[in-house]
Amino acid sequence: MSSPARIRALVVDDSPSNRRSIADILSNASDVEVVGHAADGEEALRLVTQLKPDVVTLDLEMPKMDGFTFLRILMGRSPIPVIVISSYSQKENVFKALELGALDFVAKPDRARDPDLDTLRAAVLAKVMLARGVRSPFAARRVADPPAAAKPGALKSAPAPAAAPAKPAPAKATAGPQHVVAIAASTGGPSALMDVFAKLPKGYRHAVLVVQHMPENFTRTFAERLDRRGGVRVSEGRDFDVVDAGTAFVCPGRQCMEIDTQRGLRLKLRPATDKDRYVPSADALFASVAKAAGPRAVGVVLTGMGDDGVRGAKAIVDAGGIVVAESEETAVVYGMPGAIVRAKLAKKTMPLMELADWLAAL
Q: Which of 85, 35, 81, 38 is nearest to 59 (CA)?
A: 85
**In sequence order, which residues have a C-beta less than 8 Å from that of residue 290 and are 6 or more positions away?**
297, 312, 315, 316, 318, 319, 321
Would you say 11 and 83 are in contact if contact means Cβ atoms under 8 Å apart?
Answer: no
Catalytic residue among 21, 157, 186, 288: 186
CA 356 → CA 12, 75, 157, 287, 350, distances in Å? Answer: 34, 23, 8, 23, 9
Is 206 known to be catalytic? no
First to last CA, the chain: 49
Q: Which of 322, 331, 324 is nearest to 352 (CA)?
A: 331
Is 213 known to be catalytic? yes
Angle formed at CA 197 by CA 139 and CA 88, multiple of 5 degrees: 75
Angle formed at CA 67 by CA 61 and CA 70, multiple of 5 degrees: 150
Would you say 61 and 79 are in contact if contact means Cβ atoms under 8 Å apart?
Answer: no
Is 283 known to be catalytic? no
Catalytic residue among 213, 288, 327, 357: 213
Distance CA 83, CA 96 (A): 13
Distance CA 56, CA 12 (A): 7
Report the catalytic residues.
186, 213, 308
